[in-house]
Amino acid sequence: MASETQSGDRAFGTLLRFLVTYRLFIYLGGLIAIGIPLLLQRAYGTELSAGARTAIVVVSLGVMILTYVGERRVGRGHLDERTGESTESYSLRLRASIATAVVGLAVGIYVVMEVNRLTGGLFIIGAFLFAYMGYRTEGGTRDGV
């Protein structure tokens, strides 16, 4: 029984490492996948059903969130053996703000497609400002300091 649990953990760990390795492609690909129905509608006049659009958004966000969980789990194991400090160059606060901004951007694209362009635009602008705030505080230029 213990070997089955260990092999399941090993497989899940391998999946997380794979997702973390290709995280940039996953995040960008998820955003592109969410935007494809809008592109099809605008360029070709082809409209996907609401169920298909919702499935694309849910699966894309699910994979993106799983990738972020993998970053958190795998990232804890990346310590310098000599100093014991993390070898990651970005703080947890910055990574959390970027992950939130990516989810906000995905939601914004979905809202533009399904609800209202203005409301979706506000989500997209908010996602950009949230990411900008994270980078700005990371650089030590918080409020003119």
**Rounded average pLDDT over 113-141:** 79
Say if residues 30 and 106 touch (Cβ distance below 8 Å).
yes
**Rounded average pLDDT over 102-115:** 81
Three-state DSSP state, 84: coil
Is residue 94 scored above 60 in pLDDT? yes
**Nearest in space to 113 (alpha carbons), one of 47, 62, 67, 66:** 47
What's the confidence (pLDDT) of residue 87? Answer: 56
Is residue 145 scored above 50 in pLDDT? no
Is residue 52 scored above 80 in pLDDT? yes
Say if residues 71 and 20 touch (Cβ distance below 8 Å).
yes
Helix ranges (H only) for 22-116 are: 23-44, 50-75, 92-114
Give 57-77 pLDDT, tens digit per residue: 888 888 888 888 787 777 555
What's the confidence (pLDDT) of residue 83? Answer: 52
Is residue 129 scored above 50 in pLDDT? yes
